[in-house]
Structure 1
Amino acid sequence: GKRISSVSKGINPFDVVVMIQLEDHIKMFNELKQNYENHKQHVKDFTTEVYDKLEARNRRSVDDVGEINEKLTKFKESFDKFSLDATFENIGHKFVEYNDSYADKFQKIEEKLNKFEEDLTEIGIRVGFYA
């Protein structure tokens, strides 16, 4: 029989590229997931704090409190709908397809998280957290 040495088979350079790419994606993915978890916690803490502040600041007009309340509720609804869980589940087996569009997806999610940050800050300014 013919002896096939591993050397003659060689390594497909494309496989190496895919492996490097995969590691990058997984790293990006894990960072993103961490950001998301931190953010979820931040939203929770922030919301609690806002409600506490609103209760403590009864010198604010009822309308003002109502408006901030509504804004915060809308914010929370949009944040709660924004779930990365499905993305996280898909990602594992989709990676092997060597699909570069994940970088774009991650960037879009990152942008959305940043937008949420800005919205929170804006609500915070309205409530008077920040001068």
Structure 2
Amino acid sequence: MSIARVRISRHAAKRLAQRGISLEDVHLVLRLGRKLHRTGVTFYFFGRRQIPRGLERELERLEGTTLLVRNGYLITAYRNKRAIAVIKKKSKRRARRSPVLGMSPATEAPLALEVDLWGRCA
């Protein structure tokens, strides 16, 4: 997936700025990172094994960079060298919704606000 096809949400833009991740870094992680599908989101993880030989010095700062993409939107970005272990433990499918439509099973809070926010961010 190339950076041209991924739209960046306002939340992701804020996180990229806070964490010092440039658009070139995002492009590299999307191109070279390990792609995992979990919980309805695509994770792109850039670990030590994804660094091409000869570029270790230039790209070691990206080690642990993780991008979350859903429906063509970059949702968020963070750095955690052990993130792959956590991602692998996640369910491959989205969590089931509670029987009451639009309610979160854990908190019983409405989910509509969350859905509306994702639709508006661009």
TM-score normalised by the chain length of structure 1: 0.25
User: Is the helix fraction higher in 1 or 2?
Assistant: 1
Provide the TM-score with structure 2 as the length reference: 0.27
Higher share of residues assigned strand = 2
Where relative contact order (Cα < 8 A, 6+ residues apart) is larger, the structure is 1
